[in-house]
Amino acid sequence: MIKKLLLTALMPLLCARLSFAQTRIVQSINSNWLFHKDIPGSADATSWERVSLPHTWNTQDVNDDEPGYYRGKGIYKKTIYIPANWKDKNIDLYFEGANQVTQVFVNGVFAGRHIGGYTAFSIPVSKLLKFSSDTVSANQIMVEVDNSADPGVPPLSADFTFYGGIYRNVFLVATGRPHLDVSGPGQAGLRISTPRVNEQMAVIITNTKVKELKDRSAYKIINEIVDRDGRSVDRIEQKLDGEGVSVKQALSKPHLWSCDDPYLYRVITRLINNKTKEVVDQQTNSLGIRWFKFSADSGFFLNGKHVKLIGANRHQDFRDMGNALPEALQERDIVLLKNMGANFIRIAHYPQAPSILQACDRLGIIASVEIPVVNEINESETFYKNCLDMQREMIDQNFNHPSVVIWAYMNEVLLHPHYKEGSKERQLYFGNIVKLAKRIDSLSKAEDPARFTMIPCNGNFDLYNNTGLTKVPQIVGWNIYSGWYSGGLEGFERFLERHHANLPDKPLIVTEFGADADIRSHSSDPVRFDKTIEYQRIYHMHDLKEIMARPFVAGAAVWNLVDFNSEGRGESTPHINTKGLTTDAREPKEAYFLYQANLLKVPFLKLGGNQWLLRSGIASADGTSMQEVVVFTNQPFVALWLNGKLLKKVEAKDHIAVFQVPFRNGLNYIKASDGKGLEDDQTVKFKMIASDLAHDTTFDALNVSLGDPRFFVDQKMQQVWLPEKPYTKGSWGYLGGQVFRLNSLNRQPFGSDKAIVNTNNDAIYETQRIGLTGFKADVPDGEYAVTLHFAELQAKNNAEKSIYNLDATVAKEVEQTRSFDVQINGKTILEDLSNHNYLLPATAYYSTTIITAEKGQGITIDFIPHQGQAILNAVQIKKIF
């Protein structure tokens, strides 16, 4: 013991004697690049734009009304200045990621190529650089990146945007000679494993290579493990037997890494010149000591203790930034996850920025990482090779992260079977998928026997079993969307039970479950596909409860932590998949609070409706309007105050306390409290619509979305669109007709999922009333602007299809299905409105008319059909004076 203490005390002194002659230099070269798209013959091809990395060229075009985005080549160039005294160094360019095929040229000479958009790569450039006797010399770097669709490179298709560009950091890495293997700054090139760990001891093995080693007897390795306080806890010197180095160390009573206590040591590997004692090269890696296992019966165990893995998937893009995110925004997502109470992330569908797993290590989030083989494969050796290369690169680059416990591959790979059902080709295709899965799986096990492998499958249980795919990995992941893409919520637990009964030996993770929510849509009667915040909350409440109730479910990851771009999607927020627990700008939705209430160990209380601070409704007899307010909490009781008065105290059920709140016109101050000091408050602006419109001298505006049971809030315009209702005397509403329903799929309670061109308020246009004869509002006398909104939802020509749109069609040509006149207070204001003029498929058309309402006549809108049925998507009545 004394000897050990003495050694520990002396260690800094021993180290202090080492001099750091020519250890590696790692510096980013992100700023001041020039860029252009390489479109032959276009103006873009010659004019250089000044950009900094991370950069993508698709930030704008993924969000416009045009289908598709630029998938082609982009050229980057930059002058780098290399010091004269680097002449004898080994110099690499290290790319953290560029999508998806990258070629690098130095001073006009080809330097290297990398295939795949999501793993890092090093390009050796020493031989191509120019040196002069000046202090520095200019060298030209040119990088050609191509994100064209390529049948040999996964992903072939997926529900996310394949942004092109050098969208992660680029570094110059210079080492002396000889040097430790270089793969990147502070990672890979060196693998640390912990083959034996328990509470008493840990065996730590560091494997690396010494490159360009001429005389092995002249050098040695010193490997040192340093604790969090900077104390050296183990140090070992080792002679070199050759290029390969394997250093074995042991720690007694190691401080274990866990989700609650993510303790990290550092491993410092130094290459020392025996004679001069100089440190020739040095690498530092973090080390988390833990052991884990998955059991098919009882789930996941970390350091011998059961841990239910609950978290989310994460896509890497951000609103208006594409996938080119600075470090701070990468890390912010892991903090978001941690603050949610989560302990798990599925990094899907591709490896992400190094800072993601670094943050997981630091914050104690368990991770699964996977390569981007999604939906389908290409049956070619090139494709197979690229899959295997990606898996190898992914494992190599992320090997040292204690947070990683799973290497995954092939998301929902049987989704696009390419060939006809029952055909031989299809059978062969499935066979090839299974063969490839086996190759990837055995590569993973050979590269890293300590981690588990996983395939995330979609909800077709029989298909994945019958092909034999579920037999290949150690863990089966299921993406289960019961209550969203299929059936009712209860299908979820049936699916889980089915797995357990049929695959009793396979650990199970719910790799995806989720429901879309557009933060502008709300409902007092939420249903599947309505995309309301309330349905998303109900969906997650249900699934989370079922996940928690089953010990055999090792873990689950919500789809998705964040809303993300998927250019091909339509729906109410075109190009955005809104299954996030936050928006693409990371504003939390209610479901995020639901997870906090369920998972956080510290007392938690949060008012829902954070995106519903502008409300509207119809006054009841006492002048108030009753609407639901929910509070998320892990405390037993919640009291709610409205405008300073106690409304009610209720018991929270399943971590939610529900209140009916009588809102009054204007500002409503709401406060929720657990009675023990936890409080949350919000001010809701309520726009009251009088029940007796005719006598409402304060009447201001009425916005109604026809065919729609939801509220739609437009924060920017400060407008709330009310659900439709039939006309009643003294009030307002439609006359006749029915709610538009999709005849083909008939699975939506209302509306269409087409992206509507020419508007940002797609939801308003996606529902409509058809065959109505009129709309009436008994407003007081005055001058009004009446705006009618239309979009043709039924045009028949279906030119473009996307499986990711619930209603999978976008019509290209117009076929005449209807024509009608519109009159307001007896005056024809739209004559022969038809598909041959303004009513174009999935295109917003609106028109405002100024109307004088006098002698108590109010506003009456009549629809007079000539062909087919009249339609109305929305109406706005605004009092001017």
Which residues would be at the binding site for ligand GCB (CB under 6 A)? 158-159, 411-412, 458, 479, 512, 559, 577, 579
Q: What is the dihedral of CA 435, 438, 444, 445, to 10 degrees?
A: -150
Q: Quick check: bond before 560 cis, omega within 30?
A: yes
Q: 407 forms bridges with which residues in the sheet?
A: 369, 453
Nearer to ligand GCB by Cβ, of 479 and 625: the residue is: 479
Distance between CA atoms of residues 561 and 463, nearest Å: 28
Question: Closest approach of Cβ 401 to ligand GCB, in Å?
Answer: 23
Distance between CA atoms of residues 159 and 376, nearest Å: 12
Distance between CA atoms of residues 343 and 334, nearest Å: 10
Nearer to ligand GCB by Cβ, of 6 and 803: the residue is: 803
Q: CB neighbours (10 Å) of residue 488? A: 11
Q: How far apart are the first and last CA of the chain?
A: 90
Query: 232-239 and 219-226 as β-strands: parallel, antiparallel, unpaired?
Result: antiparallel
Question: Closest approach of Cβ 99 to ligand GCB, in Å?
Answer: 17
Nearer to ligand GCB by Cβ, of 232 and 583: the residue is: 583
Question: Closest approach of Cβ 575 to ligand GCB, in Å?
Answer: 13
- Please say whether the beta carbons of 131 and 137 come within 8 A: yes
Q: Is 45 helix (H, G, I), strand (E, B) or coil?
A: helix
Burial of 880 (C-beta count, 10 Å sphere; 0-12/13-18/19+):
exposed
**∠ CA(843), CA(847), CA(853), 5° rounding?**
150
- The per-type count for the chain, helices as H runs and strands as E runs, is 10, 56
Question: Closest approach of Cβ 639 to ligand GCB, in Å?
Answer: 38
Nearer to ligand GCB by Cβ, of 122 and 458: the residue is: 458
- Please say whether the beta carbons of 416 and 426 come within 8 A: no
Nearer to ligand GCB by Cβ, of 747 and 879: the residue is: 747
Distance between CA atoms of residues 747 and 179, nearest Å: 63
Nearer to ligand GCB by Cβ, of 577 and 673: the residue is: 577
Nearer to ligand GCB by Cβ, of 265 and 804: the residue is: 804
Distance between CA atoms of residues 636 and 656, nearest Å: 9
- Please say whether the beta carbons of 90 and 172 come within 8 A: no
Nearer to ligand GCB by Cβ, of 254 and 459: the residue is: 459
Nearer to ligand GCB by Cβ, of 411 and 768: the residue is: 411
Q: Is 14 helix (H, G, I), strand (E, B) or coil?
A: helix
Nearer to ligand GCB by Cβ, of 574 and 608: the residue is: 574
Nearer to ligand GCB by Cβ, of 410 and 786: the residue is: 410
Nearest position to ligand GCB, beta carbon: 159
Nearer to ligand GCB by Cβ, of 99 and 634: the residue is: 99
Identify which of 579, 351, 410 has the alpha carbon closest to the alpha carbon of residue 483: 579
Question: Closest approach of Cβ 373 to ligand GCB, in Å?
Answer: 12
Q: Tokens 């004679």 correspond to what residue?
A: 275
Q: Is 217 helix (H, G, I), strand (E, B) or coil?
A: helix
Burial of 485 (C-beta count, 10 Å sphere; 0-12/13-18/19+):
middle
Nearer to ligand GCB by Cβ, of 102 and 479: the residue is: 479
Question: Closest approach of Cβ 23 to ligand GCB, in Å?
Answer: 43
CB-based burial, 79-106: b 16+ in 10 Å, e otherwise: ebebeeebeebbbbbbbbbbbbbbbbbb
Q: Which two tokens stand for residue 641?
A: 């105050």
Nearer to ligand GCB by Cβ, of 157 and 787: the residue is: 157
Q: CB neighbours (10 Å) of residue 618? A: 14
Q: Is 647 helix (H, G, I), strand (E, B) or coil?
A: strand
Nearer to ligand GCB by Cβ, of 350 and 711: the residue is: 350
Question: Closest approach of Cβ 578 to ligand GCB, in Å?
Answer: 9
Question: Closest approach of Cβ 160 to ligand GCB, in Å?
Answer: 6
Strand spans (E) along 504-552: 508-512, 521-522
Q: What is the dihedral of CA 46, 47, 53, 58, to 10 degrees?
A: -80
Question: Closest approach of Cβ 159 to ligand GCB, in Å?
Answer: 3
Distance between CA atoms of residues 348 and 456, nearest Å: 10
Q: 33 forms bridges with which residues in the sheet?
A: 51
Question: Closest approach of Cβ 158 to ligand GCB, in Å?
Answer: 6
Question: Closest approach of Cβ 408 to ligand GCB, in Å?
Answer: 12
Question: Closest approach of Cβ 516 to ligand GCB, in Å?
Answer: 7
Question: Closest approach of Cβ 743 to ligand GCB, in Å?
Answer: 23
Question: Closest approach of Cβ 459 to ligand GCB, in Å?
Answer: 8
Question: Closest approach of Cβ 479 to ligand GCB, in Å?
Answer: 4
Nearer to ligand GCB by Cβ, of 182 and 515: the residue is: 515
Nearer to ligand GCB by Cβ, of 56 and 375: the residue is: 375
Question: Closest approach of Cβ 843 to ligand GCB, in Å?
Answer: 25
DSSP 58-78: -TTTTSSSSS----SEEEEEE
Nearer to ligand GCB by Cβ, of 529 and 559: the residue is: 559
Q: Is 473 helix (H, G, I), strand (E, B) or coil?
A: coil
Question: Closest approach of Cβ 458 to ligand GCB, in Å?
Answer: 6
- Please say whether the beta carbons of 412 and 452 come within 8 A: no
Spatial CB neighbours of 328, under 8 Å, sequence gap ≥ 6: none
Question: Closest approach of Cβ 39 to ligand GCB, in Å?
Answer: 29
Over 371-424, what HEC string results?
A: CCCECCCCCCHHHHHHHHHHHHHHHHHHCCCCCEEEEECCECCCCCCCCCCCCH
Spatial CB neighbours of 87, under 8 Å, sequence gap ≥ 6: 131
